[in-house]
Structures are given as structure tokens and as C-alpha cells.
């Protein structure tokens, strides 16, 4: 891949400050990052938060899979390879997809509160997003041992149809998570911007922890 950064489709306009300020008024957006190893339960808990807190859920992985399958996408083949290998897709692509999805949600639904799931998975993504799009409010982190995640992923693999829910890809995804994504979580934790939950339990118990974590940060349910 010659140079993704030279691709005109990804030439993000140079910005003096982030696209959005934190908040829910015009020109603002609220972003909570949702991180955790593959199979930690991010998607499941995001669905609960959408229902009760009025967030819009944007999964970086889902957006990448959608782009991969979009007829005519010039990034399709590249994304496919990265996903199968459990590697992190170059951030220019992922950040652009997220930014587009945020703008679209604001324009069509007027919703300005986002859970960004499976992102940032690498330090450069974290820094670039907070500098160019919007600083996050905090990060929700699902702490889960590999044995538990592995079991869940193999189970999900029976029906998910995902090219990476198999033994070999799972191993690579775990490696990437530990080496590349954990440093991001550690950074947010050091900055006091991380809510950590024990994700070994069942969905209801985990959700209780999520709720109290959100309340501790002043985020209250809408219903
Ligand atoms: O989050 P999910 O498990 O759906 O992500 C699937 C794959 O998508 C990852 O293993 C990775 O290859 C890619 N991805 C990425 N950058 C992100 C999120 C996902 O490259 N921020
Ligand atoms: Mg997911």
C-alpha cells in the first residue's frame, strides 16, 4: 500500500482545533471511548447504554467491516487483510469513517452523544482523534481475562460469520490488544479518565458496574 496519507479521500482538512468541543450544543459532541479485549462484552453493554442513556453506538470494527463490503471502496482489500491478521487499520481510514458517522448522526438524528466502541486501539489514534475531532469525556474499559474472551469468541464464531472469530485470528487479536491497545488504556487510567469494570461476570452484573461508573462521572440515564 503506497501511502494512505497521500490519498485525497483522506485529506482531513488542517484544523487549528478539534471539530467539536465537548458538550451537546451546536458545534459540540460528547464522546466516550469503549475499550476492552475482543470478546470482553463491549457491544453488549453499549446496547444497554443506548437504550437507557440515549447514546448513539459507533463501533469502529463495524464501520470498517461496512467499508470493506462497500462496492467500489478503495480500502476494502486492505481492511480485509488487517482484520484477518488482527492488525490495526491505519488510523486515517478509521478516524475518517468515525467522523463521517458522527456528522451523519448529528445531521439526521440530532444526537450528539456517542459511544465509540473498539477505538482508540493504538496510541496514534487516541492522540489524533482527541486533537482533530473531539476530546473524549472518559474511557469505559472492560477488564477480562483471555480465557474468558477466547471462550466467548469461539462461541460467537459459530454464528457471527466473522472472518476473525477463529483460533488463529483470535491469538493475533489478543497479541495486538496487549502490545498496542493496552498502552492507550493505561494512559487514560493515569490521567484519571478511565472507568474500569470487571467483565468476567454475566451481562447484568457487568451492566450494574457500568452504570455506577457512568454515575461517578456525572452521566445519568435518560430513562
Ligand atoms: O472491535 P472489533 O473486534 O469488531 O474489531 C475487529 C477488527 O477491526 C480488529 O481486530 C482490527 O483489525 C480492526 N480495527 C482496527 N482499528 C480499530 C478497531 C478495529 O483496525 N480502532
Ligand atoms: Mg464489537
Full-model pTM: 0.94
pLDDT tens per residue, range 7-30 = 877 766 678 899 999 999 999 999
- The residues whose Cβ lies within 5 A of ligand 2, an ion, are 43
CA of 42 to the centre of ligand 2 (A): 6
- Alpha carbons 162 and 105: distance in angstroms, whole number: 26
Closest by Cα among 124, 105, 125, 127 to 30? 105
- Alpha carbons 80 and 67: distance in angstroms, whole number: 10
Please name the helix (run of DSSP H) or strand (run of DSSP E) that holds residue 141, with its range, or none: strand 138-143
Domain 24-217 in CATH 3.40.50.300: yes
CA of 90 to the centre of ligand 1 (A): 11
**Residue-level pLDDT, tens digit, the chain, 223 residues:** 456 777 877 766 678 899 999 999 999 999 999 999 999 999 999 999 999 999 999 999 999 999 999 999 999 999 999 999 999 999 999 999 999 999 999 999 999 999 999 999 999 999 999 999 999 999 999 999 999 999 999 999 999 999 999 999 999 999 999 999 999 999 999 999 999 999 999 999 999 999 999 999 999 999 6
CA separation, residue 222 to residues 43, 49, 127, 138, 203 (Å) = 20, 10, 30, 19, 20
Is 88 near ligand 1, meaning CB less than 6 Å away?
A: yes
Where in the chain are the domains? 24-217
Amino acid at each position: 500500500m503506497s501511502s494512505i496519507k497521500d490519498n485525497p479521500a483522506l485529506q482531513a482538512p488542517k484544523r487549528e482545533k478539534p471539530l467539536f468541543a465537548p458538550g451537546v450544543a451546536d458545534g459540540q459532541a460528547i464522546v466516550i471511548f469503549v475499550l476492552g479485549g475482543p470478546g470482553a462484552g463491549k457491544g453488549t453493554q453499549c446496547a444497554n447504554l443506548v437504550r437507557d442513556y440515549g447514546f448513539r453506538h459507533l463501533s469502529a470494527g463495524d464501520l470498517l467491516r461496512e467499508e470493506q463490503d462497500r462496492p467500489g471502496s478503495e480500502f476494502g482489500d486492505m481492511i480485509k487483510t488487517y482484520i484477518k491478521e488482527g492488525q490495526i487499520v491505519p488510523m486515517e481510514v478509521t478516524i475518517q469513517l468515525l467522523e463521517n458517522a458522527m456528522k451523519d448522526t448529528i445531521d439526521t438524528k440530532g444526537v450528539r452523544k456517542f459511544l465509540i466502541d473498539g477505538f482508540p486501539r493504538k496510541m496514534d489514534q487516541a492522540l489524533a482523534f482527541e486533537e482533530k475531532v473531539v476530546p473524549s469525556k472518559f474511557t469505559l474499559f472492560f477488564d477480562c481475562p483471555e480465557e474468558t474472551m477466547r471462550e466467548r469468541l469461539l462461541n460467537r464464531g459459530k454464528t457471527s460469520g466473522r472472518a476473525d472469530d477463529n483460533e488463529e485470528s483470535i491469538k493475533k487479536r489478543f497479541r495486538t490488544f496487549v502490545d498496542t491497545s493496552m498502552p492507550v488504556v493505561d494512559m487514560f487510567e493515569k490521567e484519571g479518565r478511565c472507568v474500569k469494570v470487571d467483565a468476567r461476570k454475566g451481562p447484568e452484573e457487568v451492566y450494574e458496574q457500568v452504570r455506577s461508573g457512568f454515575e461517578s462521572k456525572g452521566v445519568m440515564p435518560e430513562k
